[in-house]
Amino acid sequence: MLQRDEVNIVTVTKSTDTPRCGWCNRPVPDSAGAGRPRRFCCRSHRQRSYEARRRAEQLQIPDGQTVVSQEDLRKLHDRLYRLESAVQDVDADLRELSGLRAYREALDHLLEAARDLVGVTVEPVRQ
């Protein structure tokens, strides 16, 4: 049973309908004033998106598809595999162990793998 000083409060961040950048998929800051809603977080991402659309038209790449470098894709797959393995490790560990220390170690392990994905973006190849 948990003692009073061992109780922690967890903040759950729920998905919202926050507008996302059409290039990097990060939240777009609210724009003050009238006009169309912003689709990009910055001018350079708007420009990159324009260039990527033009290049896709030249190469006749269907809508919804993007050409990315094999190296970027490999790195992303490696990081996702590491996170998947950490989830499996935590599942196995918590089936066998219990207690606050076991949960803390499992969380630390999972966070270490997840932090490797923070800020990762895979951008289309530009030429």
Let me know: does 126 contact 59? Beta carbons within 8 Å. Answer: no
Let me know: does 44 contact 126? Beta carbons within 8 Å. Answer: no
Domain assignment present for residue 7? The answer is: no
Q: Which residues lie across from 20 on neighbouring strands?
A: 27
The pLDDT tens digits of the residues spanning 109-125 come to 999 999 988 888 777 77
Domain around 43: 19-30+37-66
User: What is the DSSP code (8-state) at residue 20?
Assistant: B
CA distance 45 to 59: 21
pLDDT of residue 1: 35
Complete DSSP assignment for 87-101: HHHHHHHHHH--SHH
pLDDT of residue 127: 63
| Shared-domain flag, residues 90 and 104 | yes
How many domains would you assign to the chain? Answer: 2
Let me know: does 42 contact 113? Beta carbons within 8 Å. Answer: no
Domain assignment present for residue 14? The answer is: no
| Shared-domain flag, residues 84 and 123 | yes
Sign of CA dihedral 97, 100, 102, 108: positive
* 98 pLDDT more than 80: yes
Domain assignment present for residue 6? The answer is: no
| Shared-domain flag, residues 75 and 60 | no
Greatest CA separation found in the chain?
65
Please measure the distance between the N-terminal and C-terminal CA atoms of the chain and give it in whole angstroms: 60
The rounded Cα 119 to chain-centroid distance in angstroms is 7
The pLDDT tens digits of the residues spanning 80-91 come to 999 999 999 999
| Shared-domain flag, residues 79 and 55 | no
User: What is the DSSP code (8-state) at residue 24?
Assistant: T
| Shared-domain flag, residues 79 and 59 | no
| Shared-domain flag, residues 119 and 83 | yes
